């Protein structure tokens, strides 16, 4: 099973009121991050059988933008097990529930998503840092878990940036 773990894209500052924070939307930068990340995933040939998302608005928006760029036609599944306070046991149960899928995209939050990814990989708690909008590809085979790659929005932005005179390497030709 291939799992693409994504932390929601940029959504501005955290709100003190938890209900308002749950309704926090992606900001303009976050929308751009999610669309560009989706385009990069599509260019890498990513396809998914299911899109899972935390019920918080910024995660559902990120999932929708990624799914649209990937050409995913199904409905995203809202999962409380991807909320910021979710624990590893709940996250692992979620993966077990979708084990019949070849590939799954799961969109969640910090601190739960990086902590669960680290634990899946057998690393200390939160050893893997997922920046906002970042996607990690992991492959799960039986009891073996392997991190294939981790792509941040900054890396994707640099890949899609137009070359400038200064970005071209100098040559030693005379």
pLDDT digits (tens, 9 = 90+) for 35-72: 999 999 999 999 999 999 999 999 999 999 999 999 99
Domains delineated in the chain: 2-167 (3.40.50.1240)
Residues with Cβ within 8 Å of residue 102, at least 6 apart in sequence: 1, 2, 49
Q: Is the predicted pLDDT of residue 10 greater than 60, yes or no?
A: yes
pLDDT tens digit sequence for 104-159: 999 999 999 999 999 999 987 778 989 999 999 999 998 899 999 999 999 999 99
Q: What is the mean pLDDT of residues 78-89?
A: 96
Cα distances (angstroms) measured from residue 49 to each of 121, 139, 142: 23, 15, 19
Helix (H, G, I), strand (E, B) or coil at 52: strand
* Count of other CB atoms within 10 angstroms of residue 13: 8
């Amino acid at each position: 099973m291939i799992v693409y773990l994504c932390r929601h894209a940029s959504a501005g500052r955290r709100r003190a009121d938890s209900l308002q924070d749950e309704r926090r939307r992606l900001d303009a930068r976050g929308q751009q991050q999610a669309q560009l990340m989706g385009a990069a995933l599509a260019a890498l040939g990513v396809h998914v059988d299911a899109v899972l998302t935390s019920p918080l608005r910024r995660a559902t928006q990120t999932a929708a933008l990624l799914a649209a760029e990937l050409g995913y036609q199904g409905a995203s599944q809202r999962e409380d097990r991807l909320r910021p306070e979710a624990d590893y046991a709940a996250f692992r149960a979620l993966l077990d529930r979708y084990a019949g899928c070849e590939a799954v995209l799961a969109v969640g939050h910090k601190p739960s998503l990086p902590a669960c990814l680290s634990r899946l990989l057998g690393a200390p708690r939160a050893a893997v840092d997922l920046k906002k909008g970042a996607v990690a590809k992991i492959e799960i085979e039986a009891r073996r878990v392997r991190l294939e790659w981790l792509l941040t929005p900054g890396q994707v932005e640099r890949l899609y940036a137009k070359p400038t005179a200064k970005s071209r390497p100098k040559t030693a030709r005379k």
